[in-house]
Amino acid sequence: MEFFKKLLGSSQAGTPDTPSESDQEGMTPAEQARQVALEASGERLDRHWQGIGAVERDVLTFLISPSFTGGPYWPSTRQSYRVVRRDGSIILATDGLCYPFDDGDEPVNGFELELFIDTPDIPEHAQGAPGDVDPLRNSWAYEVLKSVADTVADAGGITTQLERYGALSLELPGVSQSNCVGSQVPPAFITEDDCVGILLGGPAPDFAARLEDMPLSPVTLVPVVLITAAELDYIRSGGQAARQDLLQRLQSAGIGHRSLLTRASVV
């Protein structure tokens, strides 16, 4: 993993920056249309997450967009992370991967996806009380989600791969150099070669994950699921067939899309 310390800040969920009237007057019709789609996208995501849990007013974000400082290029310079508190778990979700492209003419909702982790196993000191999202920066879940989001952005999105394979697997190396993962994730999830394994796109969550009515194009909420070292080794040796089998095993075991640090391996 690449773990960078950045200038951090917070802003309100579902409220992409709105240009002033003077700025809007200088916009071309295409730029104005894009701004309308951007604001509508944020509002639609906000409504959807509100149906799943208690959405925090603030999001985890950056005072300076990473795209301006050599970081990965998201569709929009808005790179944020939402916090949704459910009964017994916390969802951390990207907020910006599906926003319209800043410099694109194609009428699509960015990469047409957002990523999320749903877990009950964030350390108490990193959970934050309702209304306080900043402590979550010091959680393994945020660190993993950010690393996966950066990887997906660098790849230019993964919707084609998800449509072809149903789910993907990913390895995040360098756990011993991480800020939080190495100290918060149990050894059973860390391989001998210092990696953690991730499933992307499955198992399916216990809520609607497809937003067909986004302003420009449909968007999928893609689960990011932490798997054990044994499960990652199973995929390494068995490939696509093993990955599909693991999805079924997690579903059958009642684990589903949740990242549970106290569970036993299913292989």
Split at pLDDT 50, 70, 90, the class of 253 is: very high
Give the mean pLDDT of the chain. Answer: 90
Residue 63 CA: distances (Å) to CA of 7, 97, 242: 6, 18, 42
Closest listed residue to residue 81, CA positions, set 156, 159, 135: 135
Of how many residues is the chain composed? 267
Q: How many C-beta neighbours within 10 Å does residue 122 have?
A: 24
Q: The tokens of 241 are what?
A: 């067939």
Q: The tokens of 60 are what?
A: 């985890």
- What is the reported pLDDT for 70? 65
Split at pLDDT 50, 70, 90, the class of 27 is: confident
The one-letter amino acid at 39: E
Residue 172 pairs in a beta bridge with: 196
Residue 251 pLDDT greater than 70, yes or no: yes
Cα–Cα distance, 29 to 124 (Å, whole number): 48
Cα–Cα distance, 92 to 84 (Å, whole number): 7
Split at pLDDT 50, 70, 90, the class of 6 is: very low
Q: How many C-beta neighbours within 10 Å does residue 156 have?
A: 11
Cα–Cα distance, 71 to 203 (Å, whole number): 29
Strands 58-62 and 89-95, by their bridges, are: unpaired
Average pLDDT over residues 16-31: 62
Cα–Cα distance, 142 to 129 (Å, whole number): 16
115, containing H or E segment: strand 113-119
CB 98 within 8 A of CB 80: no
Cα–Cα distance, 241 to 247 (Å, whole number): 10
Q: What is the percentage of the chain residues whose pLDDT exceeds 90?
A: 78
Domain ranges of the chain: 8-252
Q: In terms of C-beta density within 10 A (0-12 exposed, 13-18 middle, 19 or more buried), how is residue 73 classed? A: middle
- What is the reported pLDDT for 4? 32
Q: What is the pLDDT of residues 33-81, one digit of tens each?
A: 888 989 999 999 999 999 999 999 999 987 666 666 667 889 988 899 9
Residue 7 pLDDT greater than 50, yes or no: no
Enter the DSSP assignment of 72. -
Q: What is the pLDDT of residues 104-118, one digit of tens each?
A: 777 899 999 999 999
Q: What is the pLDDT of residues 164-216, one digit of tens each?
A: 999 999 999 999 999 999 999 999 999 999 999 999 999 999 999 999 999 99
pTM for the model: 0.88
